[in-house]
Amino acid sequence: MDEQNPDDAFTPRHIKDAALELLKYGLLESASKPNLYRAAVTGNRDIARILEPLDLAMKIDELRGIAYVAVAAQASEVDDEWSHPLVRRQRMNLEQSLLVAILRQQFVVHEQEAGLGTSAATVAIEDLLPHLQMYLGNLGSDAQEQKRLRGLLEQLKGYGLVSEVDAHDQLQIRPIIAHLANPENLTNLLHTFRDASHRASALSPPDADES
């Protein structure tokens, strides 16, 4: 009776590391983790075998240099995809979703101008503020506006969508944002906020005439 080679029972270390990184952060970027990204791409079948019992799958966007975790297609067909723990963990409130929609628009414009996967999409805080104010209204002071935006960006950083705001008040939009949500749903969300903002402006009483 042939004995099984002990090495056959073990997953290679680089595949384990790539799988653990995917499960921990949900994505791998070639720009920041080239070795792990390469291990995930070349070990696609091994990664699929590891993720399959969890009803997860790895998707690869080679043009943007990212590999990310998604709910497996067969699982979303049988069950409600929204009930999967991965999706429940990634659900956002309306303000977070609004900022994602704004950032995604900025990212799309960047790729149209610079080309797909060519460079990081960098945006300044001061350029994002007017977009957020358009939909959420003005809080009355620059300090409050900055605090609200920075708080939302800090939350989105936890989803891997943006980088830290640097000393020049700029941040990078991560390419995973291109796959986060249905573009049509994000566009509808922007329209909904815009309509609500217009209705609120229409209901606001006009300024009283000066005496």
**Exposed (0-12), middle (13-18) or buried (19+): which is 67, by Cβ within 10 Å?**
buried
Instruction: Say if 211 falls within a structural domain.
Output: no
Last residue of a domain, which of 63, 89, 115? 89
Whether residues 61 and 24 fall in one domain = yes
Does residue 108 sit in the same domain as residue 140? yes
- CATH code, 104: 1.10.10
CA distances from 4 to 7, 10, 164, 172 (A): 8, 12, 49, 49
Residue 205: the pLDDT is: 53
> Which pair of structure tokens corresponds to residue 49?
């075998």
40 and 106 fall within a common domain:
no
Check whether residue 110 and residue 188 sit in a common domain.
yes
Same domain, 29 and 110: no
User: For residue 118, what pLDDT is reported?
Assistant: 64
| Per-residue model confidence as pLDDT tens for the chain (211 residues) | 444 444 545 889 999 999 999 888 888 999 889 999 999 999 999 999 998 888 888 999 999 999 988 877 665 444 444 444 454 455 677 788 888 888 988 998 998 888 887 667 999 999 999 988 887 777 678 888 899 999 999 988 887 889 999 999 999 999 888 887 655 555 665 566 566 555 555 555 555 444 4
Position 151 scores a pLDDT of 94
Same domain, 74 and 104: no
pLDDT of residue 33: 93
- CB contact at 8 A, 37 and 64: no
**pLDDT value at position 91?**
63
Q: What angle do CA 78, 80, 82 make, to 5 degrees?
A: 145
Q: Are both 108 and 48 inside the same structural domain? A: no
Taking every pair of Cα atoms in the chain, the longest distance, rounded to a whole number of angstroms, is 103
Domain end point (choices 72, 89, 106): 89
Range of the domain at 45: 6-89
The pTM for the full model equals 0.68
Final residue in a domain of this structure, among 49, 68, 89: 89
- C-alpha count within 13 angstroms, C-beta hemisphere, residue 86: 22
- For residues 132 and 19, what is the distance between their CA atoms, to the nearest angstrom? 36
As a whole number of angstroms, the distance between CA 98 and CA 131 comes to 10
Identify whether residues 118 and 138 lie together within a single domain: yes
Do 98 and 169 have their domain in common? Answer: yes
Annotate 161-190 with b (16+ C-beta within 10 A) or e (fewer): bbbebeeeeebbbbbbbbebbeeeebeebb
10 occurs within a structural domain: yes
Count of CB atoms situated within 10 Å of the CB of 110: 17
